[in-house]
A and B are shown apart, each in its own frame.
Chain A
């Protein structure tokens, strides 16, 4: 079945370490997105990519980095520069028709101790 997979589901890291969250989709979607979710804050856009080898900053890109080397993959690195990295991270993908039919992954909960 087609879908979008995030791994791992839970991730623990020590403060000061970089960590990479995986996101893979087999929906043949052109666009991919990373959102951060904090309690009571809704979903905030970190980065998005509409085509391979190109990506743009969202509203809260500081302390994060991404790559888009393949259409299917859009990994997110949470760097040590992110001051408050503990959160629930959601990856999504969509076609570029303007219909906004985002498909979300099941999320990764990152805890930094």
Chain B
């Protein structure tokens, strides 16, 4: 299946710091999404991107769809303890999603 390279694998930050993570693919996709998974729960959609170059914000979250359609990044500003969890990028094709391996975020109060 399609491989998505998501980095970093894990991050340990202090409360209040900004966070950046990214995802790349060797293929072009028309849909990029970012999900967050709390421990022991299912992922929840944070941001969906449908247009190359698109920059979308959702509160303290900002995500961009790369102009080449092969990458995307997610930024979290002013992190808080409830931001802890696993963040997944995903790409859509033929009504199916392929997920990256995730970035585990730990926020120290």
* A40 in contact with B42 (CB, 8 Å): no
Q: How far is the CB of B56 from chain A (nearest CB, A)?
A: 14
Chain B binding surface, main DSSP class: strand
Selected from B31, B95, B101, the residue in CB contact (under 8 A) with A96 is B95
Q: Which residues from chain A contact B90 at a C-beta distance below 8 Å?
A: 100
A106 at the interface (CB under 8 A from B): yes
Most A CB contacts (10 A, CB to CB) among B1, B40, B42 go to B42
Measured as residues with beta carbon below 8 angstroms from the partner, the interface class of chain A is 20 to 34
Q: Which residues from chain B contact A92 at a C-beta distance below 8 Å?
A: 42
Residue of A nearest to B100 (CB): A42
Residue of B nearest to A59 (CB): B1
Selected from A41, A45, A109, the residue in CB contact (under 8 A) with B96 is A45
* A100 in contact with B33 (CB, 8 Å): yes
Interface string of B32-52 (1 = CB under 8 A from A): 010000001111110010000
Q: How far is the CB of A101 from chain B (nearest CB, A)?
A: 7
A12 at the interface (CB under 8 A from B): no
Using A33-B97, A43-B99, A101-B45 as known contacts, list a sample of 10 further A-B pairs with CB atoms less than 8 Å apart, ordered by residue number in A: A33-B96, A35-B99, A40-B102, A42-B101, A48-B96, A100-B48, A100-B92, A102-B45, A104-B43, A106-B41
